[in-house]
Amino acid sequence: MTQWSKESFINHINETCESDIVMICLDLIDFSEKTSDDLSWGTGDDFGTMTYRCNSDYGMLPLFRLSSHGKINLQINFLRSKNLHKQVLQDMIIKLESNFLRDYDEESYPSDSYEPLEELICTKAQLDSFIKTIEGCTYRLKQ
């Protein structure tokens, strides 16, 4: 198994993604380095992952994973399984649904999966809204 680092992750993104997706990934990496309580790099052989975690009363919780193939895994169902305060999860889901124009209820989104960034984040405003959603969730989990 390969241990990924920020440098190897960014190199792989540059090799596998279009320039607009590379920029989104770099912004998410920068944001994650500044705000996450625990930022970890994956150990996969085919592609790298970066996981954003925040500390809470429930322990360290992953909020999203970014892959070096330009995909993102929102940890909504994992968070549902932790029985978080209803307001925390509901706030996150409502903001993600309005930002990405998708349904993240249990029926429409039964499992956490990697989704291409280009299908979710098309504008700087959407990226900023996603970042604010994660910041808000992080803040609420620390209360």
pTM (2 d.p.): 0.93
Mean pLDDT over 114-123 rounds to 93
**β pairing state of 61-67 and 38-41:** unpaired
Compute the 3-state secondary structure of the chain and give helix, strand, coil in percent, each to the nearest 5: 50, 15, 35
C-alpha span between 37 and 83 (Å, rounded)? 21
Q: For 57-103, how does the pLDDT look when each residue is reduced to its tens digit (9 = 90+)?
A: 889 999 999 999 999 999 999 999 998 888 888 999 999 999 888 89
Quote the pLDDT of residue 1: 63
Residues 6+ apart with CB under 8 A from 114: 65, 67, 69, 71, 72, 73
C-alpha span between 48 and 3 (Å, rounded)? 8
DSSP assignment letter at 9: H
